[in-house]
Chain A
Amino acid sequence: MGYVAIKGGGKAIAGAEALLDYLRTEQGEAGLPLDTHTIETQLRYLHSRVMSEGGLYHPTLAALAIKQSLGDTLEAAFALRAFRSTQPRLLESPLLDTRNLRVVRRISSAFKDIPGGQMLGATTDYALRLLKMQLLDESPEQFRAIAKAWLADTPQTDIPDTFPKVLDALRAEGLLPEPQPAAGTPFDITREPLVFPVPRSAALATLARGETGSLLAIAYSNMRGYGDVHPTVAELRVGYLPVLLPHPISGELIEAGEVLITECEVVAMYGKAEKGQKPTFTLGYGACFGHNEVKAISMAILDRALQNGQANGKPQNPSEDPEFVLLHVDGIDSMGFCTHYKMPHYVTFQSDMDRLRTTQQQQQEGKA
């Protein structure tokens, strides 16, 4: 049997692509096409995930990507990243501060009472995981009635636009390390490859657009015992961050829009203090586009674990190893490697078969 290269298949490949579109529309006259706004609002967690993993806060195109990929998060994030690679980079925002977040959810597991109060916002945290069978036959009227009823009972509020940070109180008490702003511009993972060691800004950027399940899996290994972060969520926030850009004429910072983000700050066990210093808690940080709390918490744990690995000089477990973590959490990279195994490997497999046959033959001859 000789080695074979392949060609052709063009019609079948085009047919396979068309078949995907057929499957999307196979409801025929009984169906209605999904509009992007419906995806954005009714599938908001899926939508959030695609925006953060795609690394692009573009609500409409993220919804489109979900629609065309039939809900495959990895394919949708891939399409979004492919789009971003075709666009010119016009600018970089000034350093934005999440103190300006227009919060829609804010909780702390460190304190019962926090300045400004805890607001649960929209969450399944305390919900029973029972299927709502009534949604199987939800009519448009019932659907609209839910929103109407919720909006009808709107209390007068004196809630402020922004809230103080829980960490500020701990820092004022001397329980946290002082801020350590890094010099220079942050590492841009969209322009530079990760060559280790990399600065913390590279790790944070990589984690921020990492695949949710990958971050969770490695953070979970730390939680279960392959690590010792033992985090407490000082504050978890979901809200809209105003994107401020300098006005070309006056230079004054003007809001150009806002992005929905999830942010998590974890406090971890205190370490040994340097000589002459007080011991303080250690910290981890997570943030991502959209509403994705599992990702933000996992990221904060991994940030802390990676800082531990760096401080110790040698990683003690996989979650402290920057190469292990940062090179395996990207959904597009890992999905690409995984799915490439479906592509024709006829030549390499022929070679494997030839070698096995030769080995078997040699073994047989040796026995004889």
Chain B
Amino acid sequence: MDKHHYEGRSVCLPALASLPAAEVIALAQRLAQGWQRRYLALPEQGLGMLQLQESTLHQAFYLGEFPVARAWVELTLPDGIQAQGAAHVMQDNAELAEALAICDAILSAQLPGAEAVAKAVAQGQAVRAQVQANRKVMLAKTHVNFSLLETTGGNDD
């Protein structure tokens, strides 16, 4: 794969996470088959605490918790090439976090299979774009221009 196609973690990981978990797990398992896998942090799932900056006086507080899974792996290919990958995902699915970490390693080090992962990234980006487009339609269809009573005609749009 052409290295120029790697858009960075901030694009690739969220895109992959928006695909069905089973698809991402199957992809990572297929691509990393036969490679050695060492855990730099064991895949685990639990909760994260969301720290929010309230927007009036800019003070911090905890809004509540969310499910989270994370993993950090080092892959060693049969030819000795090594690469690390890691990921957090807001789902209680450690297996998915591990799959994302594998995809992260493959993409960032341009390992064999990077093209397949890049294809999945493109699918994920399309999913995210569709979701965001739907939200914008919600806004566009409900955009309101209130007028003062004395300036109104018959139109209430």
Q: A residues within 8 Å of B by Cβ?
A: 52, 55-58, 84, 87-99, 102-106, 112-113, 117-122, 151, 154-155, 157, 159, 161, 165, 167, 176-177, 179-182, 185-190, 200-202, 204-205, 208-209, 240, 243, 245, 247-250, 252-259, 261, 263, 265, 283-285, 287-289
Number of interface residues of B (CB under 8 A): 60
Contact of B64 among A154, A249, A289 (CB under 8 A): A289
Question: Which chain B residues lie closer than 8 Å to A247 at the CB level?
Answer: 9, 13, 86-88
Q: A165-B55, A179-B58, A255-B10 are in contact. Are A208 and B63 (CB under 8 A)?
A: yes
Task: Provide the bound-state CA to CA distance between A362 and B30, in Å.
Answer: 87
Contact between chains at A89 and B60 (CB < 8 Å): no
Most buried by A among B44, B66, B144: B66
Question: Would you list 20 pairs from A and B whose C-beta atoms are within 8 A, ordered by A residue?
Answer: A56-B47, A88-B46, A89-B65, A97-B53, A104-B135, A105-B142, A112-B147, A121-B139, A122-B138, A177-B57, A180-B58, A187-B62, A204-B61, A205-B63, A245-B48, A252-B10, A256-B17, A257-B89, A257-B91, A287-B52
Question: Which of the 9-residue segments B21-29, B67-75, B114-122 touches chain A?
Answer: B67-75
Question: Which chain B residues lie closer than 8 Å to A52 at the CB level?
Answer: 64
Q: Is B14 interfacial (CB 8 A cutoff)?
A: yes
Contact between chains at A89 and B142 (CB < 8 Å): no
Contact of A249 among B66, B72, B141 (CB under 8 A): B72
* Closest beta carbon of chain B to A217's beta carbon, Å: 22
With both beta carbons as reference points, the residue of chain B lying nearest to A261 in the complex is identified as: B63
Question: Which chain B residues lie closer than 8 Å to A200 at the CB level?
Answer: 59, 61
Most buried by B among A154, A167, A185, A257: A257
